[in-house]
Structure 1
């Protein structure tokens, strides 16, 4: 695996989408592969798709970008049978006669091979998909059929995290090399050994304040000094941290981190 020598900030830009975009639509997946909520079965909101710097491509050299999706399952009404179908590939009776269950079954049987489902501590659903270069450079994925994607008895929240509510124009992203970050390549640690000169340096520790690490406050970025709203997760150095501005993610005014190496996700509200 590559050793890390550089962190990268992620900034919204008016330039083209060569290094990714927030909002917009995913690429590299078919409409049938659009990740679904485990609670009601609707397609998740696409938050962002970002090219991963080479040193952070921990799932293999051919997987060069990531797409991230959200469903606010902790606050939504449940449709009986959806979770069982999605987690256990259980088929419903008379599935061919019901367009909703047929579309859900199609997703179950054609999931993107690089999709990873993540669930947070309050029951929210998230999905991460690694993409190849060809997939990342492909065409935008058409939205799923709205009529087929909603159970007939389910009342959709127009403000929820679904692909229909969050379908907005793309805002493009660029990598910006971060300079003089002493935490590149270090495992995140909220309470490091102060006697270890190679230990992670928390932003608001005495040493962190002396190094003025607060210059990295509220940044979207790959690696380096983290700034979680609440507790520091014990993540590998191969992580991405993002604010709500990336795709209007609902994190209660907070921010999120994904450990790309270990498929772990953490967020905290403000």
Structure 2
């Protein structure tokens, strides 16, 4: 069986209002839906929960992982842990790897060795209750990331404010018509 790969791109808009799960196709920052605290990805360098970046309901033609996989949640290293200050501790990395994880977890590392994770979500997970971030590993020695106290959006905008003029979006909507390119990312 050959899968037809998506051939269209969609404009994504970050809206300056709170997300409405009934009409929007996702949200930035906030909390991911439908996972347990134990399934929340941890940073294998610091032992703290990765910060939720966005959850996006996938357009029909992007649902290539099965009919029931309808959304993706993306997580990243906290902005205040992006300074290279935490040494890579093999004991923390092993503890994170030994922990139970979401069955559709994908981990990534960028060229600067910052950690990212994506979870493919079922319809039931996407419609489910918001998750609560887990406690950090007992081995964690880095400073507590600020997003755990003030929320992901506030922590991001505090970090980004000196560098650019940014607004505080929260909801995401895919454009009604496909476009030739993606103009903005949620």
TM interval, short-chain normalised: 0.7 to 0.9
Could you tell me which runs of 5 or more consecutive residues in structure 2 were left unpaired when the two chains were aligned. Answer: 155-168
Alignment match of 1:116 (pick from 94, 97, 106): 106
User: Offset of 1:11 from its aligned partner?
Assistant: 0.6
Q: CA deviation at 1:54?
A: 1.0
Aligned to 1:12: 14
* Residue 64 of structure 1 pairs with residue 70 of structure 2: yes
Unaligned runs of 5+ in 1: 90-107, 182-215, 221-241, 247-270
Contact 1:66 1:131 in 2 (8 A): yes
Aligned residues of 1:45 and 1:69 also touching (Cα < 8 A): yes
Q: TM-score, normalised by structure 1?
A: 0.53
Counterpart selection for 2:130 from 121, 140, 143: 140
Q: 1:73 to 1:125 in 2, by over 3 A?
A: farther
* Residue 219 of structure 1: aligned partner: 183
Whole-angstrom distance in 1 between the partners of 2:33 and 2:149: 16
Distance in 2 between residues matched to 1:50 and 1:112, nearest whole Å: 17
Q: 1:86 to 1:73 in 2, by over 3 A?
A: farther
Distance 1:8 1:153 in 2: 39
**In the TM superposition, what is the alpha-carbon distance from 1:122 to its structure 2 partner?**
1.4
3-state DSSP of counterpart to 1:75? coil
Q: Which has the higher contact order (CA 8 A, sep 6+)?
A: 2
Tell me which structure has the larger Cα radius of gyration: 1
Structure 2: distance between partners of 1:73 and 1:180: 33
